Structure 1
């Protein structure tokens, strides 16, 4: 592992030094950056890349001409340089391996308490200032923005959304400024792009396990799509909020949100692919509530709707076309796994993994985790460790604290087998991959 890799920890001797600890306590980032350069060999250009800043801004901070006050930026620095949260007075960071939890828990433990989100740091860099005078919207502008959104989603799917946050939020700020001068049909199209960027921002923070910030952006996406009058997209955002509520332990809210999403989709007209996805999202929430009957009914409704999709895929909104037969198969397996029906879930998830494209790193990592979990529930320790190893290998190729949290939860589920050779091997690989 080279020092250019994001996941490399700072040297222990640096973290233990009194000078470093004092700099962190006082949030003296000029001194912190200088120490990182001198003691860890991480130069300003690399600090900038890791922390989502421009090199000129890092240089100004090191020279004492600028400081850092916004919590979003301080969190980015902590995550980028792998500074333990406690040193900077922050909550425990998502990449810091948590303490063992009860082995009977099925879902990953919620992320540590985080500070309420503040407004994104005001535009101060030269590019942001210049963008303020470039307020004319054309059809070419919309085409370029849509292309950027598509690229963000592709990168999110392949490598996780955590590192996309500065870019996506910056794009959202830019589009929000353009809305001030746009009129007529251009304004409506721009509203739709802003809603998608807000949803993508929420998703990126969700993938980073920063749930309250994710909820803020999802709410913004909902308001923007309401202004645009797109009921189907509102259903899409509500389904994202339902999944977030499931992870955050608000299970009744998760059911309410996804049922409201179904109502919005029905009001928009017949869309079987959207409804199939939404019914399976409901199955997730019902499974988390341990309501087996409702979960199975939701799965059946999802399958029934999917039967009406064949030959009509092109009629569905672009954002739901990821939900194909393979996704239906593997997500059904995950719903059963959440219920504890491991024997029924395992073959579905295994077949889904076999069919999935190899470049879908994050999805495959999540599905490998669920496969390992179902195998572990059935006492198939060797197979579970093999599947867990696949999840770990894939996790090393992405930046998704949500996936890392699943892998760590699987490790906690393995505690009863802690002295078994396959688990010892997995633990060693986990330490090497996740620190």
Structure 2
């Protein structure tokens, strides 16, 4: 049976008798009332016309804005045709004015016709060369509103969220979070609305996983652009969704990324706590590759704490788990290949080389060279990080000329990456190069990095 009403009524009267709608009316939860109507096929424009509100006001209420004013609540009840008593409102001797609601809907349609004509005039003017930029946009120009989400979703909708996340993650991986962070957040704002849609249980579970993954990407790109508080917020939400969906592998992913935030900010003890929590989730997921990633990062943290015994233990376990891992991997661990294994090993030895350069700098060079030789050229951020480590340890090991050559390549790649982490990761190379003021090329490299870092300072 159709739920759309007739004779000026927005919906059929039985809608107001539904238990969930009655509860929303009793609590004056207008946001939930509007969402229920949207699920019944009532458009935002029709809700706006019937209640005397603008579409932007309706949009804000759908997003959660509360309505408190009595007269506004009364106007909404009358416009929608909802019994005032269900909302605890006095009838004031008047029945809902269906004629007025119909008149408002007709007026809205008339205004839409005017906007269409004005836009056609504008388009013709532009096409024929008569438009002057800077002129008024006119009443046809759209206000900022969110794209409407479906009221019922299936696996196709979830797959679209997954596809968007994959494409945006590829941009981040290649060119840095600054190229896509706003797009991730905007996509996430729309995707979150799908939680309000009707869906089968297995679809909703997959949606939670997909939203967790997208929040994780939003957190990572926020971190990469230097936005630490938003990063923590997104990672926190990602972890909640992953646990709610029962996906331990994805929970491990989020905890790994949170640990990397603290590792970057030179807080290895805090980072270790996240990696150890992630280790538990990784083991519960049954993914040897997830366990390998956690062990590798724990090894890096122990290196920053000058714990070579623990570094070797964790790197040994990393290698064992990496070999044991099956080809069937969760999406989030697929980046961790042979190159990344060498890169993480090199990072752990680089950390130890700060305390014992004679022993560990050559080991760091060997591992980072294997990593850098395997990266594809578009992966510029990875190249910057790997080459900066390699160049730093060339200089520590006394191979100054090679350090300069690789360091200049790192700078070249860094100029094309939009990442707040790049200047930070180049700092150790600058400090090592500055220790050789009598060598003109090394001294020049230190100055080049200094200028680059200053140009990227926020």
TM above 0.5: yes
Which residue is equivalent to 1:169?
Answer: 185
Residue of 279, 284, 287 corresponding to 2:300: 284
Q: 1:135 offset after TM fit, Å?
A: 4.2
Residues 379 and 212 (structure 1), Cα distance of their counterparts in 2 relative to 1, 3 Å cut:
farther
- TM-superposition CA deviations, 1:71-108 (whole Å, max 9, x none): xxxxxxxxxxxxxxxxxxxxxxxxxxxxxxxxxxxxxx
Which residue is equivalent to 1:253?
Answer: 270
Q: Distance in 2 between matches of 1:253 and 1:431?
A: 29
| CA root-mean-square deviation | 2.4
Q: Distance in 1 between matches of 2:142 and 2:210?
A: 24
Residue of 288, 297, 303 corresponding to 1:272: 288
Residues 158 and 236 (structure 1), Cα distance of their counterparts in 2 relative to 1, 3 Å cut:
same
Q: Distance in 2 between matches of 1:237 and 1:305?
A: 20
Tell whether the 8 Å contact from 2:171 to 2:179 is kept in structure 1 after alignment.
no
Q: 1:353 offset after TM fit, Å?
A: 0.9
Which residue is equivalent to 2:367?
Answer: 348
Tell whether the 8 Å contact from 1:243 to 1:285 is kept in structure 2 after alignment.
no
Q: 1:343 offset after TM fit, Å?
A: 1.4
Q: Distance in 2 between matches of 1:133 and 1:213?
A: 24
Tell whether the 8 Å contact from 1:392 to 1:430 is kept in structure 2 after alignment.
yes
Tell whether the 8 Å contact from 2:149 to 2:194 is kept in structure 1 after alignment.
no
- Is the counterpart of residue 225 in structure 1 residue 242 in structure 2? yes
Q: 1:198 offset after TM fit, Å?
A: 0.7
Q: Distance in 2 between matches of 1:337 and 1:316?
A: 29
Which residue is equivalent to 1:306?
Answer: 322
Matches within 5 A, 1:79-228: 129-132=145-148, 134-183=150-199, 184-228=201-245
Tell whether the 8 Å contact from 1:279 to 1:302 is kept in structure 2 after alignment.
yes
Q: 1:130 offset after TM fit, Å?
A: 4.3
- Is the counterpart of residue 379 in structure 1 residue 395 in structure 2? no
- Is the counterpart of residue 391 in structure 1 residue 410 in structure 2? yes
- Is the counterpart of residue 334 in structure 1 residue 347 in structure 2? yes
Q: Distance in 2 between matches of 1:175 and 1:147?
A: 12
**TM-score scaled by structure 1?**
0.67
Tell whether the 8 Å contact from 1:368 to 1:388 is kept in structure 2 after alignment.
yes
- TM-superposition CA deviations, 1:320-362 (whole Å, max 9, x none): 0111112111211111111111111111111211122122111
Tell whether the 8 Å contact from 2:436 to 2:443 is kept in structure 1 after alignment.
no
Question: Which consecutive unaligned segments of at least 5 residues does structure 2 have?
Answer: 1-132, 354-359
- Is the counterpart of residue 418 in structure 1 residue 437 in structure 2? yes
Counterpart of 1:131 in 2: which secondary structure? coil
Structure 1 segments (4+ residues) deviating >4 Å: 125-128, 427-434
Tell whether the 8 Å contact from 1:376 to 1:384 is kept in structure 2 after alignment.
yes
Counterpart of 2:180 in 1: which secondary structure? helix
Question: Which consecutive unaligned segments of at least 5 residues does structure 1 have?
Answer: 1-58, 64-124
Counterpart of 1:290 in 2: which secondary structure? coil
